[in-house]
């Protein structure tokens, strides 16, 4: 949803004419900033609501209301699910049987959530088991939060969604238990040292964490509403609401067998062109050359969704005019906010790590971070509670990859090392 709005803005900048661009979406609203759904949209007070978080407010840009698209002559085709794509004939077919012909196609289908029913988990279709991907999911969750006021919530998964939803359910005064199989939360990014802080902080907020096991079944009451979560280790957790965040899958099924794929995504070049003429792929679905690390990667994050969409549109325009533009040169960036915490990460989380700063969960003002060092160079940096200047400094450091000889020195200098580059 983010990619579509950022692409539209870039098309408008490039002088798209009325009637030249259409956005087809399964959702019923104009493109919005998806990260809000697991944060402020669910707050009990001062909650974010549309039109407040239509794109492009998430990156500090103007808010594109539905009227903006109308003014630019961009057609918004909502509540329309594409069920068939014929790339050779340049046609798309909707669930309702409508056919759309195109000259140029940008695939911005994003990801779909992995559901427990996919693994055959018993009782996973009970009411009040939620997956958060679209605004409709969030609206249903809000209704049940109100109906089950001050109840018990079980969060299945210890990644992004798990941590953000754990916090938001606690803010809504629920009794919260998080369950995940890994030895610590956010294992794809966090080191055990980083995770220890967040787990300790959540514990101090009264959130219970159950690690090293998974949900294997759900009990429901006579109304079909979930009432308990059964764990593999034999424990049973009472639950009025269950929120599941166990990852996503890129939505590429429509294009299977018609287009080259790599590493679970649609293979593109540095301009997001695919193996099929006039077809581009952006965001979660694109596997693209990451120049900085000289390898093909797929990135699931809103920052890349925005930037890849803009790059594809610039490439389309340059192609039309016979001009050239620079290849995409992306610096991986991840961030999250929960409670009064806020962290940012830039670069690559490979190699040796050092932890610096005050990472005591009981600290009144915790501030800490981590560096990743590979082949004698700092390749990644993480910072909790950084100032805007410090966050810029760790981004610069991850891009420049300065050499470092003494890891102890790095631990001692902490954020100062990044700020002095």
For 114, other C-beta atoms within 10 Å of its C-beta total 16
Q: Single out the residue of 404, 74, 347, 340 nearest to residue 204, CA to CA.
A: 340
Tokens of 43: 């707050």
Q: What is the pTM of this model?
A: 0.96
Q: Dihedrals φ, ψ of 41, to 5°?
A: -60, -30
Closest CA to 369 of 314, 309, 413, 316: 413
255-288, pLDDT tens digit by residue?
A: 999 999 999 999 999 999 999 999 999 999 999 9
Question: What token pair was written down for 48?
Answer: 């974010």
Return d(Cα 299, Cα 183) in angstroms, integer.
Answer: 24
d(CA 361, CA 351): 26
Q: Tokens in use for 195?
A: 């995770």
Kind of pairing between the strands at 341-347 and 333-338:
antiparallel
Position of tokens 């055990």? 192
Domains of the chain and CATH, by start: 2-110+249-321 (3.50.50.60), 116-246 (3.50.50.60), 340-420 (3.30.390.30)
Give the pLDDT band (50/70/90) at residue 345.
Answer: very high
Coil vs helix vs strand at 266: strand
* pLDDT, position 34: 95
**For all residues of the chain together, what is the average pLDDT?**
97
Give 191-220 pLDDT, tens digit per residue.
999 999 999 999 999 999 999 999 999 999
Whole-number Å distance between alpha carbons of 298 and 214: 27
- pLDDT at residue number 48: 96
Structural contact between residues 271 and 288, judged by C-beta atoms closer than 8 angstroms: no
**In 3D, which of 33, 34, 108, 22 has the Cα closest to residue 69?**
22
Residue 1 has pLDDT above 90, yes or no: no
Q: How far apart are CA 269 and CA 291, in angstroms?
A: 11
140-175 pLDDT per residue, tens: 999 999 999 999 999 999 999 999 999 999 999 999
Backbone torsion region of residue 365, taken as left when φ is above 0, otherwise alpha when ψ lies between -120 and 50, otherwise beta: beta
> What pLDDT is stored for residue 327 in this prediction?
98
User: Given this model, what pLDDT does residue 82 score?
Assistant: 98
**Closest-CA residue to 345 (of 188, 166, 165):** 188
- Listed residue (206, 170, 177, 211) closest to 361, CA to CA: 206
Reported confidence tier of residue 36, pLDDT bands at 50, 70, 90: very high
pLDDT above 70 coverage of the chain, percent: 100
What DSSP string runs through 231-251?
A: ETTS-EEE-SEEEE---EEE-
- Quick one: average pLDDT of 98-127? 97
Q: What is the DSSP string of 315-341?
A: HHHHHHHT---PPP----EEEEEETTE
Widest distance between CA atoms in the chain: 66
Residue 40 clears pLDDT 90, i.e. is over it: yes
Distance separating alpha carbons of residues 270 and 419, to the nearest angstrom: 31
Helix axes 2-13, 302-321, angle to 10 degrees: 30
What band does 184 get if pLDDT is binned at 50, 70 and 90?
very high
Confidence of residue 120 (pLDDT cuts 50, 70, 90): very high
């Amino acid at each position: 949803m983010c990619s579509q709005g950022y692409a539209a803005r870039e098309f408008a900048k490039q002088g798209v004419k009325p009637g030249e661009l259409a956005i087809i979406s399964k959702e019923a609203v104009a493109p919005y900033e998806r990260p809000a759904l697991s944060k402020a949209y669910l707050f009990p007070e001062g909650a974010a609501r549309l039109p407040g978080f239509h794109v492009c407010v998430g990156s500090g840009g103007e808010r594109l209301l539905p009227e903006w698209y109308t003014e630019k002559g961009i057609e918004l085709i909502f509540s329309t699910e594409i069920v068939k794509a014929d790339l050779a004939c340049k046609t798309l077919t909707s669930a309702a049987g409508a056919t759309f012909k195109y000259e140029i196609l940008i695939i911005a289908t994003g990801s779909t959530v992995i559901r427990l029913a996919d693994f055959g988990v018993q009782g996973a279709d009970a009411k009040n088991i939620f997956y958060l991907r679209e605004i409709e999911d969030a609206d249903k969750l809000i209704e049940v939060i109100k109906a089950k006021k001050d109840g018990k919530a079980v969060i299945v998964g210890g990644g992004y969604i798990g941590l953000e939803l754990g916090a938001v359910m606690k803010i809504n005064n629920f009794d919260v238990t998080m369950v995940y199989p890994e030895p610590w939360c956010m294992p794809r990014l966090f080191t055990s040292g980083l995770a220890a802080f967040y787990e300790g902080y959540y514990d101090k907020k009264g959130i219970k964490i159950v690690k090293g096991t998974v949900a294997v079944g759900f009990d429901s009451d006579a109304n079909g509403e979930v009432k308990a979560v059964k764990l593999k280790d034999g424990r049973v957790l009472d639950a009025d609401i269950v929120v599941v965040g166990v990852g996503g899958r890129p939505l590429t099924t429509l294009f299977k067998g018609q287009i080259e794929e790599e590493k679970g995504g649609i293979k593109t070049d540095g301009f997001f062109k695919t193996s099929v003429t006039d077809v581009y792929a952006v965001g979660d679905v694109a596997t693209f050359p990451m120049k900085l690390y000289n390898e093909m990667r797929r990135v699931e994050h809103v920052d890349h969704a925005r930037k890849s969409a803009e790059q594809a549109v610039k490439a389309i325009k340059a192609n039309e005019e016979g001009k050239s533009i620079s290849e995409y040169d992306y610096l991986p960036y991840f961030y999250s906010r929960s409670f009064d915490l806020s962290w940012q990460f830039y670069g690559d989380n490979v190699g040796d790590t050092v932890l610096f700063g005050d990472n005591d969960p009981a600290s009144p003002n915790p501030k800490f971070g981590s560096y990743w060092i590979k082949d004698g160079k700092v390749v990644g940096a993480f910072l909790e509670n950084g100032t805007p200047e410090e966050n810029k400094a760790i981004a610069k450091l991850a891009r420049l990859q300065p050499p470092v000889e003494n890891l102890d020195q790095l631990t001692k200098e902490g954020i100062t090392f990044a700020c002095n580059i």
